[in-house]
């Protein structure tokens, strides 16, 4: 027997009973919970397999993709068409520019040709007008000189004076020319047959004063370029006292419109006009107005 058995217990029995009961209840609840948990545990541990069916979108997606591809293809075609149009426009612009340049070139060439033709026509008309004026002036000069010669013959009553005034054939012939005068005559005769060109100074085309100037230049004598000045370049001499190499002029001294070189024997060499060119003619063909002697 325990040595404490005789000691009375200080706990109240009623309280012990209540505590035991409470503990029993708690224990029972716990065991019930465990039992429920044990029963429910295996069922929750099983894997759940469930198949979800997705809505079918293949048909709609195909339509959208096809539409997108068609749109992309159309864009590509539009870009290609635009590129072709741009290239065609550029090519057309280049051709138009080239055609315009060619048209301008042809127009300028045509304009130059027309201007040249007009200039030639004007030059021809001027030459013809000068020739007509020259012929008219020479005819008037011959008429005046003939009238003067007739008056002089009537007043003197001497037939010899009249004949000497009208016949230059008594003047010295070219065979009497010597020195520089002979060289001038030879130069002038060498040009017979050359063309007449207004403003010409040789070597194969001359105008009247250009030929005279060149003939004298061949012997080292510089004469003025134009006939007006050449008609006063030396001493005035009578047409009855000419020597080879003298300068003949038509018109007034200082206002002459034509010059030539006396070559003797009553003849002269001169660049007459575009129709005759450079010729050797008798003074009776076209009698000059006066003469000057330079050598």
Interval 264-292: pLDDT, tens: 999 999 999 999 999 999 999 899 999 99
> Could you give phi then psi for residue 288, rounded to 5 degrees?
-75, 170
Domain 168-293 belongs in CATH node 3.30.160.40: no
Would you say the pTM of this structure is higher than 0.85?
Answer: no
More confident residue, 287 or 148: 287
d(CA 262, CA 177): 11
Interval 62-82: pLDDT, tens: 788 778 888 888 888 889 889
Interval 105-126: pLDDT, tens: 898 888 888 888 888 777 767 7
**pLDDT at residue number 178:** 85
- How many CB atoms neighbour CB 131 within 10 A? 16
Give the position of tokens 């004949």.
163
Q: Considering all CA atoms of the chain, what is the largest pairwise distance in Å, rounded to the nearest integer? A: 227
pLDDT at 152 over 50: no
What spatial distance separates the first Cα and last Cα of the chain, rounded to whole Å? Answer: 200
**pLDDT at residue number 205:** 96
**What confidence tier does 167 reach under pLDDT thresholds 50, 70, 90?**
very low
Q: Half-sphere exposure (CA, 13 Å, Cβ side) for 215?
A: 35
């Amino acid at each position: 027997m325990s040595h404490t058995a005789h000691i009375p217990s200080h706990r109240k029995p009623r309280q012990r009973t209540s505590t035991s009961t409470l503990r029993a209840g708690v224990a029972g609840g716990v065991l019930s919970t465990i039992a429920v948990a044990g029963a429910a545990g295996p069922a929750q541990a099983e894997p759940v397999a469930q198949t979800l069916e997705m809505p079918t979108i293949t048909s709609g997606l195909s339509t959208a993709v096809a539409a997108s591809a068609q749109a992309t293809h159309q864009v590509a075609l539009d870009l290609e068409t635009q590129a072709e149009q741009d290239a065609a426009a550029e090519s057309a612009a280049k051709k138009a520019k080239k055609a315009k340049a060619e048209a301008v070139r042809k127009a300028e060439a045509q304009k130059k040709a027309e201007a040249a033709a007009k200039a030639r026509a004007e030059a021809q008309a001027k030459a013809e007008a000068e020739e007509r004026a020259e012929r008219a002036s020479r005819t008037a000069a011959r008429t005046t000189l003939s009238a003067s010669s007739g008056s002089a013959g009537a007043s003197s009553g001497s037939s010899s004076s009249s004949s000497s005034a009208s016949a230059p054939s008594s003047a010295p012939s070219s065979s009497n020319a010597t020195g520089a005068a002979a060289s001038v005559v030879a130069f002038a005769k060498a040009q017979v047959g050359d063309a007449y060109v207004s403003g010409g100074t040789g070597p194969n085309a001359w105008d009247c004063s250009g030929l005279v100037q060149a003939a004298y230049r061949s012997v080292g004598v510089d004469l003025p370029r134009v006939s007006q000045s050449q008609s006063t370049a030396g001493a005035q001499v009578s047409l009855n006292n000419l020597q080879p190499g003298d300068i003949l002029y038509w018109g007034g001294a200082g206002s002459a419109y034509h010059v030539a070189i006396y070559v003797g024997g009553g003849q002269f060499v001169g660049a007459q006009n575009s129709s005759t060119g450079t010729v050797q003619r008798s003074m009776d063909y076209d009698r000059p107005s006066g003469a000057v002697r330079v050598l």
